[in-house]
Amino acid sequence: MPLLRAKELVDVATKAQVSHALCDARLGDELRAALPACSTLKQVRYFNDSSAQGVEALAAARSSAFADVSTAADDTCLIAFTSGTTGKPKGTMHFHRDVVAICECWPRHTLRATADDVFIGSPPLAFTFGLGGLLLFPLSVGASTALIEKASPDLLLPAIAEYRASVCFTAPTSYRAMATHAGEHDLTSLRKCVSAGEALPAATRALWKAHTGIEIIDGIGTTEMLHIFISADEQHARGGVTGRPVPGYVACVLDDAGREVAPGTVGRLAVKGPTGCRYLADERQKNYVVDGWNVTGDAYKVDEHGDFVFQARTDDMIVSAGYNIAGPEVEGALLAHPAVAECAVVGLPDEARGQVVAAFVVLKDPAAASEALAHELQDFVKQQIAPYKYPRRVEFRDSLPRTETGKLQRFKLRQPS
């Protein structure tokens, strides 16, 4: 499946004024459908193309020598587009110095990979989680990467075994899906597993460690900040906790007035460091950077240990009958039930409560869906967390809406059917 459909291609090419495109020949129809509306796009070349005009043939005919382009540290190096978990993607600009900076911060101090490592994972290189994890970070230490065309959970496990991969980057949903099959493959080469992209449920962390013995390195990063800025290494990882700012960054939790809140109080995560948000021609810039802080749109609190604990996206916080309820906390409770494969929890309008907690659940055995199981899940959540947070609505689904990088699109679940 292509990462961008025709309309999205037009939006990205127009906003970033893209002039040159490289495209897999197998996805050529999508690009050709967008070309008439892409006024800035002047040159297109296709790879996996056996013709004389294919990238492979053209590259073979060129000299291996080339002249370096003279660039400054604060020249724009890349324009990365957000994945659209909350709506229309935004273009984020990053300088050459930003690319160097992210290799010196989290990878050096938290990941601590070596030249002998073999990286592997599922995030596309077009997104910053994959760009760092599968290209920039291994390149910065002289390591190698096994790039596989399809990295679904059922294909990623045998690829780890085949290429003797030692560092894996993928999303929480993949770790959960792979955990129970890990024993079917030789994973003895694997020593580090990194999760980002969305919150890592404590149940998923525990499940993966139970089946592999490996503690997941969790972290939060954003396309706006380029990569991970809060994390914990294997020795300091705790279930449900993201960690602390990595060297080079500072972070705090702010209230709606921009004041730092006391530990234990939920507020808006704000961060500063060597990278920062620069939206390309987007009014949303003024909401992201406030008084020098990058306000990420995530609701966090700082616990008694000084660690940052994710609560929800700020627009995913549910206010029901006066209570503030974090959807991911309810999701974590549901995921601990043996019948649940994956789930998403959102707030839906309710006349009596303002909002009601609604759970959309994918079962390991779809045939098990029943009203009785829905009640069982509700009672199970009441036993795991504060009873008032239980989902008053439970809806079974065959699948959940996700972006191409696997992130949940909760806003789609809040839309009327």
What's the pLDDT score for residue 1?
A: 32
Q: Is the pLDDT of residue 82 over 90?
A: no
Residue 61 sits at φ, ψ, to 5 deg, of: -85, -5
Banded model confidence at residue 416, pLDDT cuts 50, 70, 90:
confident
Distance CA 249, CA 230 (A): 8
Give the three-class secondary structure for 313: strand
Q: Give the model confidence (pLDDT) of 274-292 as tens digits.
A: 999 999 999 999 999 999 9
Give whole-number Cα distances, 365 to 142, 298, 339, 361, in Å: 44, 33, 7, 11
Q: Give the model confidence (pLDDT) of 34-70 as tens digits.
A: 899 999 999 999 999 999 999 999 999 999 898 999 9
Residue whose pair of structure tokens reads 């890349």 in the numeric block: 78
Banded model confidence at residue 212, pLDDT cuts 50, 70, 90:
very high
Mean pLDDT of 86-109: 91
* Range list of β-strands (E), 25-105: 43-47, 76-81, 91-95
What's the pLDDT score for residue 312?
A: 84
* Range list of β-strands (E), 82-142: 91-95, 118-121
- Please list, in sequence order, all residues whose beta carbon lies within 8 angstroms of the beta carbon of residue 20, skipping any fewer than 6 positions away: 41, 42, 43, 44, 45
Distance CA 226, CA 96 (A): 12
Give the residue from 29, 30, 28 showing the smallest Cα distance to 45: 28
The answer to whether 47 touches 56, Cβ cutoff 8 Å, is yes
The answer to whether 345 touches 397, Cβ cutoff 8 Å, is no
**DSSP class of 133:** I
Rounded mean pLDDT of the chain?
A: 92
Positive or negative torsion for Cα 113, 119, 120, 123? positive
Give me 226's structure tokens.
């380029």
What's the pLDDT score for residue 2?
A: 40
Distance CA 68, CA 70 (A): 6
* Range list of β-strands (E), 321-411: 323-326, 340-350, 354-363, 393-396
Residue 368 or 8, more confident: 368
Give me 122's structure tokens.
């599922």
**CATH class of residue range 321-414:** alpha beta
Domain 77-313 in CATH 3.40.190.10? no
Q: Give the model confidence (pLDDT) of 370-402 as tens digits.
A: 999 999 999 999 999 989 999 999 999 999 998
Residue type (1 letter), 12: V
Chain centroid, CA 404 distance in Å: 10
Q: Specify the DSSP element, H or E, that contains 193.
A: strand 192-195
Kindly report the number of other CB atoms within 10 A of residue 373's CB atom: 18
Residue type (1 letter), 242: T
Give me 383's structure tokens.
């036993």
What ranges do the domains of the chain cover?
A: 6-66, 77-313, 321-414
Positive or negative torsion for Cα 288, 221, 77, 88? negative
Give whole-number Cα distances, 307 to 252, 302, 304, 346, in Å: 11, 5, 7, 25
The answer to whether 259 touches 297, Cβ cutoff 8 Å, is no
The answer to whether 50 touches 26, Cβ cutoff 8 Å, is no
The answer to whether 330 touches 345, Cβ cutoff 8 Å, is yes
Mean pLDDT of 325-337: 91
The answer to whether 364 touches 339, Cβ cutoff 8 Å, is yes
